[in-house]
Amino acid sequence: MARITGSYPDDLDLLIEGAVEASVFSGKSDALREFVREYFEDHQNERIAAAVALDKYERITLSDAARLGDVDRWTMRDILREGLNSASGSKTQTTQPTR
């Protein structure tokens, strides 16, 4: 399991400590894991953006990106291809019929 260090406002720390003391969470780490998990469950676009960013810098595989993005591999492949096409400036041109 990864370990992170961070800073957050004192009031937030007090709320987390209170939640631990009230047995809402077993510890601060448990509380923070739950907060992050809920955030990404409620924010699907940000979850996919995070997976795409990690794939862009070749830090994860397609399968990992799909798992992190909570989509199937084929959907993630299409998302990644779409990102590559828009990043390279390729656009599909449409023509209007003449009258």
pLDDT along the chain (99 residues), means of 10: 90 96 96 96 95 92 96 95 66 45
Measure CA 90 to chain center: 26
For 44, the 3-state DSSP assignment is helix
- 67-89: per-residue pLDDT in tens? 999 999 999 999 999 876 665 55
Could you identify the residue written with the tokens 């400036």? 89
Dihedral over Cα of 6, 12, 54, 3: its sign: positive
Q: Which two tokens stand for residue 64?
A: 């990992």
Distance CA 40, CA 63 (A): 18
Amino acid 68: pLDDT: 95
